């Protein structure tokens, strides 16, 4: 099922949501070549993506990870590695990855920004993204695989939505039908499947060949649940709850 929209209108224009979406799109086009230049895409993922083993120094320098035909990412010790937990939030691995993240962020992010205010929302978003990165690093400290994407931070937004607006209906696309479903059911179901995918990694190690760092999703979501009440603008939440 795919979320299309919710039934909770915004009170104010979500400028920060627009700005973050624009940043993702601009980085995708001008830094990553919009996916049309394979070499530029691989270089951006390799050089700017977050590699847990580079941050923990548990991946041997020189370890090569294939990222395409004739292309590989080599573990290094460049200073920029320290910034990759933030930079990687604005990178993506393909059009499907980008558009999926943008859709989830648009459906749930505009209302969370409206409940926190633009600046608080930005800080909250970055903290959730960093917590997601930390969760992935803790789960796979020696991984030489680069990870990219906004999904960890967006998972925090989903967790915040679960806390603030569990009863709001979300319009979900199911095959060819649009079905309104309460947000708590959508989000708990989503989180359940993240846990199902993540738990085997604790005993079997990560297999990120499919490009999904599910512990980042878990970490971001839990962080959003825990922290959103510290960031909310209670006046706005009360007004919006009345609308719901």
Residues 138, 152 contacting (CB under 8 angstroms): no
Cα–Cα dist 89/52, whole Å = 14
Residue owning tokens 């990694």: 201
Confidence (pLDDT) at 100: 94
List per-block mean pLDDT (blocks of 10 residues) for the chain, which spans 244 residues: 90 95 97 92 94 95 87 93 97 94 96 94 98 95 94 97 96 90 96 87 53 86 97 76 53
Q: Please give the Cα distance from 219 to 66 (Å, whole number).
A: 27
Instruction: Give residue 67's pLDDT.
Output: 84
**Helix extents (H) in the chain:** 15-30, 38-48, 52-56, 84-87, 95-116, 118-139, 151-164, 183-198, 201-204, 214-231, 234-243
What is the structure's pLDDT at 216?
A: 94
Measured CA to CA, the distance from residue 200 to residue 206 in angstroms comes to 8
Which of 120, 107, 112 minimizes the C-alpha distance to 11?
112
SS3 178: strand
Q: Which residues contact 230 (CB under 8 A, 6 or more apart)?
A: none
User: What is the distance in angstroms between the CA of the first residue and the CA of the last residue of the chain?
Assistant: 23
């Amino acid at each position: 099922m795919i979320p299309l929209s919710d039934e909770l209108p915004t009170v104010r224009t979500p400028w920060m949501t627009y700005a973050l979406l624009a940043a993702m799109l601009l980085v995708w086009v001008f830094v990553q070549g919009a996916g049309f230049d394979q070499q530029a895409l691989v270089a951006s993922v390799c050089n700017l993506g977050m590699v847990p083993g580079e941050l923990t120094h548990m991946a041997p320098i020189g370890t090569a990870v294939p990222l395409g035909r004739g292309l590989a990412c080599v573990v290094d010790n460049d200073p920029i590695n320290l910034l990759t937990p933030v930079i990687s939030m604005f990178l993506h691995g393909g059009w499907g990855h980008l558009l999926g993240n943008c859709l989830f962020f648009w459906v749930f992010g505009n209302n969370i920004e409206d409940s926190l205010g633009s600046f608080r929302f930005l800080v909250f978003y970055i903290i959730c993204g960093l917590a997601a990165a930390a969760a992935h690093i803790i789960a796979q400290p020696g991984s030489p695989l680069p990870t990219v994407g906004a999904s960890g931070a967006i998972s925090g937004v989903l967790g915040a939505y679960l806390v603030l607006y569990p009863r709001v209906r979300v319009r979900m696309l199911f095959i060819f039908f649009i079905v309104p479903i309460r947000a708590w059911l959508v989000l708990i179901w989503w989180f359940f499947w993240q846990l199902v995918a993540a738990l085997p990694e604790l005993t079997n190690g990560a297999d990120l060949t499919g490009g999904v760092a599910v512990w980042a999703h878990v970490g971001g979501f839990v962080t959003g649940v825990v922290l959103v009440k510290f960031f909310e603008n209670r006046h706005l939440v009360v007004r919006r709850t009345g609308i719901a």
